[in-house]
Amino acid sequence: MRNATEVCSQCFKKFKMTSWLQKHIAKVHPEYKKEIDLKKRRRDSVEDDLRPSKHRVQPPPYAVFQNHDSDPVLFDCDAIADAPLESSDSQSPDFPSALTYPNAGLPCAYVPQEGECVTSSDDPYYPFANEEEFNFAEVVTTKALAGSVIEALLKGDCGLKDDLKHSLKSNYHLRKKIDQMEDGLGVDSWKKSRLENITWNEQHAREPIEFWHRDIIECAKWLLRQPAYAEHLSYAPQQRFDEQGRRVYNEMHTADWWWERQVRISPPLGFNATPRAVYGVLTAIQTLLDDGDTVIPIIFMSDATHLTNFSGDKKAWPVYMTIGNLSASARMATAMHSVLLVALLPIAIKMRDIPLSRYNEQKEHNRMILQHVLRHILGPLMRADRRVFFAWCADGHFRRCVASPAAWIADYPEHRDLHNIKNGVCYWCECPKAEMGQLPVRPYPMRDHDKYRALSVANTATANARLASFDVHQGSNVFWDLDCVTSDLPKPDLLHTMQLGMLKHLLGWLSVFLKQHKRFEAFNNIWLSLPAYLDMAQPRQTYKEVSSWQGKEIKTMSRFLVAVLHCALRAPFASQHDVLNQAIECSRALVEFYFYSEYDSYDEQTLELISTALRNFHHFKDVFRQFRAGKRVIQEGKARRKELITERDDVTPQLETREKDTLDSYIARARED
């Protein structure tokens, strides 16, 4: 096992170990080291202030909301529920900084069944004989020692004990023992399944549809029992507030989804009222789960990957999962290994052997196969006896857990296929296709998958026509059988939506815009003259010299794009003033929206700022309208251009003949005269 190569963001020097990189930064880039330490202290102080409470008790008929700075505050539920809501302008007392839902995520008594994996092993050093062997394996692995060095240590006279040398023998035997370190999620956790009585088509009748997958519930149990995640796990939903009593959203258990999944407020209440009024209404909840249950939000991620063009055009479609109980920092840290590969979806056959008349029929068949495969993989989440389970948690207690799909992160083509909808429509709401890309005056209704399911089951001509009017394909959807709101599953992906999506489109628009206004050379010169600053290196290429823009490059570019654009468009002519200002404002609004979307924590003010940035982008985007043609419009334009060229070529000979006859008659009359 080798560590990934670390790269210095200042000088791009590569290091094999993180510790070497840290020493290099401290010695060569001390100012950047101070900036990193300051950010870490600020982050640690915020995490300490917002750390969830460990004690959740509810003595009826009172609701206990833990205040980290004082004793628990008791509210009489019956008295507060009947009290009128206070206005937001009134002076409010000190409110708790964190409001935890009572009797959620409580430990319970449970006796493991025979064969159930609770801890990794009775022997903490298995498969090594003792602690000394385990420590040796840990050192050579974490330090990324070469195989020749390990051979020299085990076979030479380097001070190691003879028992350790005889047990480990060589680098080969050491690696074999490391591979045997099973903890309930090793090679044996993978299963190979096959769809029976289903083939891609008659031309590939002998090619089986096979796929590999893991048990999702076992993967969730594995994540819950890892001791390394003990400080990063949350078992109950919270509502957090700042000093002014405004709602704060950062971790998943502080969002509304988990709270609404754990409880249901009737009637629904927005958070425009004061926190004191919110406390009163929260007592009128109807519990959806048993008392003390722990919700396990399952987060899925998928991305079809093109592997190579040189060995049969290979592709892979992996599906990953993690749990929302983990903090965002733990989920995003590569070294934490908190994202697990749970399935490899089968790749549909190419369409080149399919007659054109059957092209759409084959695409529909491929979508049906994908739904069958997903139904097999997500089966444990559809069975009540599987998605409700007892799990050993990292804090040393058993809990009764209820797994619930919370999010599926993917790009648009995958969401289109997963939700069985037509291309070019929204998978969240029922926005008309012609109005896609416009800021709606009022929100469109969310997609009602219960209605789609009823129409699909009816399977009549009228039902199918109505289903088509909602831009939904016929057939079942595996998400309909899950314990979730199907339209809430898709979640935004910054890589595909912003970095490789809108920001990359913006670069293309600006390139043509700057060339049209003869500012492109100035833009490139200013781009190249940017100095290095903190963790941002100086650009080594001009904008036009970059052949491929990836997520990392676009993320860095967004930090100085508006400044470079503003300098390149300075001193405009009177006729250009409004147009150039609109281009700057549009670019600024989109970049601001991207920066706000990267925030770790939100409140009402930051949510309003991100909404304002979105409105500003839609207000100024018409300045790039002539450069925003899609693929379909470009193809239609090329086809129309060919038609005009053909018409010109057909008319030109006739005009030349007519002009020649006119000229000859004119010369003849001139001679007669």
| Structural element, H or E, at residue 6 | strand 6-7
Task: Please enumerate in sequence order all residues whose Cβ is within 8 A of that of 383, keeping only pairs 6 or more positions apart, or say none.
Answer: none
Residues 6+ apart with CB under 8 A from 338: 223, 229, 322, 326, 330, 331
Extents of the domains making up the chain: 6-49, 62-107+239-282, 131-181, 494-627
Instruction: List, for residues 150-191, the tens digit of each pLDDT value.
Output: 888 888 888 888 888 888 888 888 888 887 776 778 788 899
| Percentage of the chain lying above the pLDDT 70 cut | 78
Given a cut of 50, the residues of the chain with pLDDT beneath it are 1-4, 46-93, 120, 264-288
Q: Which of 376, 302, 397 has its CA nearest to residue 341?
A: 302
The pLDDT value given to residue 652: 63
- Report pLDDT digits (tens) over 514-527: 999 999 999 999 99
How far, in Å, are 34, 267, 491, 568, 653 from residue 31 at the CA level? 5, 54, 37, 30, 75
- How far is the C-alpha of 236 from the C-alpha of 58, rounded, in Å? 13
pLDDT for the residue numbered 621: 92
Output DSSP code: residue 5: P
Q: For residue 503, what are its two tokens?
A: 């920001």
Contact status, residue 50 vs residue 58, Cβ threshold 8 Å: no
DSSP per-residue string spanning 322-390: EETTB-HHHHH-GGGT--EEEEEEPPPPPSTTS-GGGHHHHHHHHHHHHHHHHHHHTHHHH-HHHHEEE
Distance CA 323, CA 406 (A): 9
What integer pLDDT is reported at residue 59 of this predicted model?
31
What mean pLDDT value characterizes the chain?
Answer: 78
* Amino acid at the residue 386: R
Say which amino acid occupies 274: T
Query: Residue 499: what are its φ and ψ, rounded to 5°?
Result: -65, -55
DSSP code string of 272-340: TS-HHHHHHHGGGEEESS-TT-EEEEEEEEE--EEEESSSS-EEEEEEEEEETTB-HHHHH-GGGT--E
Q: What is the DSSP letter of 107?
A: -
Whether the Cβ atoms of residue 210 and residue 347 lie closer than 8 Å to each other: no
Cα torsion 477, 481, 486, 492: sign: negative
* Cis geometry, peptide bond prior to residue 61 (ω within 30 degrees of 0): yes
> Do 236 and 402 form a contact (C-beta atoms < 8 A)?
no
Provide φ and ψ at 603, rounded to 5°: -135, -170
> CA–CA distance from 95 to each of 71, 72, 211, 280, 441 (Å)?
12, 11, 53, 13, 36
pTM over 0.85: no
